[in-house]
């Protein structure tokens, strides 16, 4: 299992704990990561708003780098996954668009043939590693920990671009939580929007979205949330206090990045997983799980 590792900006910026935990978990599970250090930002759907072909070209450059290595792309960001999958689908299925984009890239001798696949870490865990192997690797069961999955928009919708989960009734995070021994919380907010794309331009709306989902998870008895998208993590963790203030309540809900939750079950330490970097302390959740057994 070897992949071209597309970290995305957040894992190299505001969420270094995501990068660190993903790398450590991948190593334990025998996933080989060849980091794409010269890959650019996917555009997060924002560059596409300014210029659709420019966004395609930047991502075609990234795909061409993976194509040259003959590796599929692995992402650890739900937003990157959605944006890259959408661009890749266009480049694979619309030869006119691919020709246009390759013409833009030609002066630097870059061309994308359309042969690369893009997979989120969550899908790699389920499809390539497999839940049974994961179950065997568990050193510290998450038994007793009630986890509310939070998917984020871009890993689910539009489902025509993606494909693993039913966008209305996804199951992959739930299956993963169960495989790690945890208890999954069911709530309607799990497929909703965290509000992050509006946080710098209309903070009250963004806080209302993130706050609604967090409060609902709390109401259903969750000890923590888990998300495969660092932008959701920023919204749910960094902005949680402000969201709570807007609602007039203390939410106090720890939020894990997907690889952090897996890493806990695999026996990695809090330092390994960078848990001290969260804005909302994870103590409440850590108190629910036993120490690792060797």
Q: Which residues bind another protein (CB under 8 A)?
A: 9-10, 12-16, 37-41, 43-54, 57-58, 61, 82, 104-105, 107-108, 110, 153-154, 156-159, 166-169, 192-193, 195, 197-198, 200-202, 205-206, 208-209, 212, 238-239, 242, 276-279
Which lies closer to another protein via its Cβ, residue 122 or residue 238? 238
The whole-angstrom separation of Cα 240 and Cα 60 is 36
Which lies closer to another protein via its Cβ, residue 32 or residue 186? 186
Say how many C-beta atoms besides its own lie within 10 A of residue 294's C-beta.
Answer: 6
> Quick one: which of 159, 95, 172 has its CA closest to 129?
172
Which lies closer to another protein via its Cβ, residue 140 or residue 257? 257
The whole-angstrom separation of Cα 150 and Cα 188 is 10
CB of 177 to another protein, least distance (A): 20
Which lies closer to another protein via its Cβ, residue 125 or residue 148? 148
Q: How far is CA 200 from CA 102, 172, 197, 206, 214, in A?
A: 34, 31, 8, 9, 20
Which lies closer to another protein via its Cβ, residue 119 or residue 233? 233
CB of 106 to another protein, least distance (A): 11
> Quick one: which of 116, 135, 234 has its CA closest to 175?
135
CB of 88 to another protein, least distance (A): 16
CB of 240 to another protein, least distance (A): 11
CB of 197 to another protein, least distance (A): 5
- Strand order through the sheet with 255-257: 183-184, 146-149, 224-227, 255-257
Main-chain phi, psi angles of 3, to 5 degrees:
-135, 150
């Amino acid at each position: 299992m070897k992949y071209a590792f597309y970290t995305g900006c957040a894992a190299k910026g505001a969420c270094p704990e995501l990068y660190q935990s993903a790398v450590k978990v991948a190593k334990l599970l025998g996933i080989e990561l060849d980091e794409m250090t010269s890959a650019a930002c996917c555009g997060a759907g924002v560059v596409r708003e300014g210029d659709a072909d420019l966004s395609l070209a930047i991502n075609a450059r990234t795909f061409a780098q993976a194509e040259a290595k003959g590796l599929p792309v692995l992402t650890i960001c739900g937003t990157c996954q959605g944006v890259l999958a959408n661009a890749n689908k266009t480049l694979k299925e619309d030869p006119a668009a691919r020709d246009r984009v390759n013409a833009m890239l030609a002066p630097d001798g870059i061309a994308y043939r359309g042969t690369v696949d893009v997979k989120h870490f969550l899908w790699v865990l389920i499809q390539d590693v497999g839940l049974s192997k994961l179950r065997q690797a568990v050193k510290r069961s998450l038994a007793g920990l009630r986890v509310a999955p939070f998917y984020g928009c871009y890993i689910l919708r539009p489902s025509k671009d993606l494909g693993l989960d039913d966008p209305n009734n996804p199951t992959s995070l739930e299956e993963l939580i169960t495989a790690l021994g945890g208890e999954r919380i069911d709530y309607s907010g799990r497929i909703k929007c965290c509000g992050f794309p509006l946080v710098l331009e209309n903070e009250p709306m963004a806080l209302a979205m993130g706050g609604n989902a967090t409060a609902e998870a709390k109401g259903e008895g969750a000890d923590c949330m888990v998300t495969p998208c660092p932008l959701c993590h920023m919204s749910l963790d960094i902005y949680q206090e402000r969201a709570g203030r807007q609602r007039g309540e203390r939410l106090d809900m720890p939020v894990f990045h997907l690889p952090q939750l897996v890493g806990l079950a695999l026996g990695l330490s809090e330092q390994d997983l960078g848990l001290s970097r969260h804005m909302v302390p994870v103590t409440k959740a850590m108190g629910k799980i036993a120490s690792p057994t060797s």
